[in-house]
Structure 1
């Protein structure tokens, strides 16, 4: 059996906020909770920067707070205070944003992107309709974004837990720069 590979994942506070306890009935809450539990079970590592930690502290559910404590105890949380601001990336996003709203949505999640770029290039977030969509479009012009893997654990069709179980590989279909072949 091949050696188990642990991947470093940057998890948005949106997932921490949505993750419900064992009695949760909302499907998004259940999916986020189950994803976090699977991440722990499969030995992957969560990456946090000071900014990400601050967002988690503000928004995490009771379940997510306990889960994060268990991740620390199991040494599955990598705290990174050494990731510098990528001014070129911020300037590119500022230039590419079509509207102020789009710019604000992307700026809000750029710290996730910076942390992902410094580690295993993976972001886990519920933010599909805004940031993910905007970053996918920006990846056409910003090469750094093309390799970022973006996973939404609330969407059953993404099979996020199966992806974790299989090593959380940077599958090309999950990358911001991926474009499916057009059928003519």
Structure 2
């Protein structure tokens, strides 16, 4: 469902206000992008990687559509922006998610077979112990963390990984 032009503008303005209040250092990275099919502008920003780190898939945020989408590593998540587009219902969730990611309280875990991703999710650094106990197999577990502290890749057995990730 496409946003009306007025609601898209309100979403973009509300998100800019959110950035000004909570992450003013990111304002210089905001780009205005165009969805030609919908005839509407949306905001996109790519957060610079920490010094000494280059992420394959950097931290990005978008206002495309009816929500705020945060991308990092092989993972993305959506935060609704209420009908009035003041964002107040999602502010806390977005702040909590971004702070946890930046503080490395959460990491991104994705499982690949050859060039195809099977799943991606968030995990906690403490989960790495149980993941390292998973037998090797024909899949690859890729861990991404903001400062690179937990970044690693290792082979895993798919079924064993699924069991470990739900224990």
TM-score calculated relative to the size of structure 2: 0.30
Structure with higher RCO (Cα < 8 A, 6+ apart) = 1
Larger Rg: 1 or 2? 2
Q: Identify the structure with the greater helix proportion.
A: 1
Greater share of strand: 2
